[in-house]
Amino acid sequence: MFHLNSDQTFAIESTQRMVARNIQPELDAHAADRPLPKDAMLRIFSALAELGITAPRLPEEAGGGALKMLDYGLIIEQLPPVVALSLLSHEGTVARLYAGCSDDIARDYLGDLIAGRKICCTANTESDAGSDSRAIHTRVEVDGATARISGRKIWITNASIADVVNVSCTQGLDSKGRPVVSRVLVDVARSPFEVHEIPVMGLQQGHLGEMMFDGTAVPASHIVGEGGDAAKYLTVGWNVNRPLIGLMTVHLAQQALKLALAHTAERRQFGKPLAGHQLVQQDLADIETAIISSRLMCLYALDAVDRGERANGLAAMAKRYATQACEKAILLAMQLHGGMGISREMGIERLWRDARMFQVPDGTNGTLALIQGRELTGTTAFR
């Protein structure tokens, strides 16, 4: 049986209070189908910083939270998913920039990012490159003290509100003729580029966008780490991000179950409450089963990361299972609401639209199945 200790219970309750006090009012004050303005996002990030979760993967001496990833998962589940996904983009980027960055970059950028005074993101995905980082076409060319970036990135969380962007770029070829993928820090104020929001079906208060770099000039000193290490740090991040994303869908399914329980207790059909009908109880039981099994699988994957185990397959399995199971759970809850389930008034259709969005970031379900299959068989199906 999985039991929370007192510190974990306190963290969950503190997060819930912070959401009610600082985050939910910001979400409620703005249109549900439009990206939040940046000033609202900065207020949200300030609250996240006060909770100590803008850099949970960094050690305390670097200003980070030094959290166990299991404990971070418990916190993530309490956040509104649109905020949780933005935080994940931000703090994952902080961790990537911290890994191998120069003292100058650490001094000039990490403090503001950890304090929530600035927002960041990672730009990796392209139209022909997502999970396959070796397919990236965006390139960086160095000329003395200046580096220039050319290419397009798409499906980037926080694109339109980011002050700092960690861009994956190719920088020549290695000895085997393969592209060397490097990390480049772009300070938006110093090196502007073109950004467009992408209209999407769910998480509509969030910021998903496309970036266009056309010879964008950055200091050559903003190339972070060693050439070719970008893929390693992306994978390390994904192994944590995937179960965390699964927990975001658990949050949505838990909300759907709450609505379904209230509706089936109140709504009467055939002379008794809906909750008194056998098939309704079966649907409710299936919803709860999806929630608990998804939560435990995601926490199990995060615990494996904390214990230093290889978690590639577990993380892929957790995200794939949780995002699928929780989407189906929300659909069951919609069915239990009848006509109200498809109305905007109840908001349950929005839960489904938001949940469906999470099957895309950090690996689609097909890709995740192949990662798990590779771990099971020792044979890659990608190439």
CATH of the domain at 81: 1.10.540.10
Q: What is the pLDDT of residue 230?
A: 67
Q: What is the pLDDT of residue 293?
A: 97
**Residue 10 counted as domain residue:** yes
Residue 302 has pLDDT above 50, yes or no: yes
Q: CA 237 to CA 242: how far, in whole Å?
A: 9
The reply to whether 300 and 327 lie within a common domain is yes
**Residue 338 counted as domain residue:** yes
The reply to whether 125 and 106 lie within a common domain is no
Q: What is the pLDDT of residue 129?
A: 76
**Residue 203 counted as domain residue:** yes
* 54 SS3 class: coil
Q: Which of 207, 228, 249 is the last residue of a domain?
A: 228
- Mean per-residue pLDDT over the chain, rounded: 93
> pLDDT tens digit string along 179-197?
888 899 999 999 999 999 9
> pLDDT tens digit string along 127-139?
887 777 678 899 9
The reply to whether 47 and 125 lie within a common domain is no
DSSP 251-285: HHHHHHHHHHHHHHHH-EETTEEGGGSHHHHHHHH
Q: CA 108 to CA 181: how far, in whole Å?
A: 24
Helix, strand, coil: what percent of the chain each, to 5? 55, 15, 30
The reply to whether 136 and 204 lie within a common domain is yes
Residue 172 has pLDDT above 90, yes or no: no
Owner of token pair 């950004």: 195
The reply to whether 264 and 341 lie within a common domain is yes
Average pLDDT over residues 108-137: 89
Q: CA 282 to CA 279: how far, in whole Å?
A: 5
The reply to whether 147 and 111 lie within a common domain is no
> pLDDT tens digit string along 55-104?
999 999 999 999 999 999 999 999 999 999 999 999 999 999 999 889 99
Q: CA 315 to CA 73: how far, in whole Å?
A: 13
**Residue 163 counted as domain residue:** yes
**Residue 289 counted as domain residue:** yes
Q: Which of 115, 137, 155 is the last residue of a domain?
A: 115
14 or 232: whose pLDDT is higher?
A: 14
Q: What is the pLDDT of residue 1?
A: 47
**Residue 383 counted as domain residue:** no
Q: What is the pLDDT of residue 175?
A: 73
**Residue 1 counted as domain residue:** no
The reply to whether 247 and 354 lie within a common domain is yes
How many domains are contained in the chain?
Answer: 3
> pLDDT tens digit string along 366-379?
999 999 999 999 99
Helices (H), 188-307: 230-266, 278-306
Q: What is the pLDDT of residue 324?
A: 97
The model carries a pTM of 0.94
CATH number, domain with residue 262: 1.20.140.10
The reply to whether 203 and 238 lie within a common domain is no
Percent of the chain with pLDDT over 90: 80
Residue 288 has pLDDT above 80, yes or no: yes
The reply to whether 216 and 144 lie within a common domain is yes
Q: CA 38 to CA 49: how far, in whole Å?
A: 16
Q: Which of 171, 196, 228 is the last residue of a domain?
A: 228
Average pLDDT over residues 140-169: 96
What domain range is 325 assigned to? 232-377
Average pLDDT over residues 137-165: 95
The reply to whether 142 and 267 lie within a common domain is no
Range scoring the smallest mean pLDDT among 11-25, 46-60, 165-179, 257-271: 165-179
Q: Residue 154 in contact with residue 198, Cβ under 8 Å?
A: yes
The reply to whether 33 and 94 lie within a common domain is yes
Residue 229 has pLDDT above 80, yes or no: no
> pLDDT tens digit string along 323-363?
999 999 999 999 999 888 888 888 899 999 999 999 998 88
Average pLDDT over residues 144-173: 94
**Residue 271 counted as domain residue:** yes
CATH number, domain with residue 222: 2.40.110.10
* 309 SS3 class: coil
Give the count of alpha carbons within 13 A of 188, CB side only. Answer: 19
The reply to whether 196 and 236 lie within a common domain is no
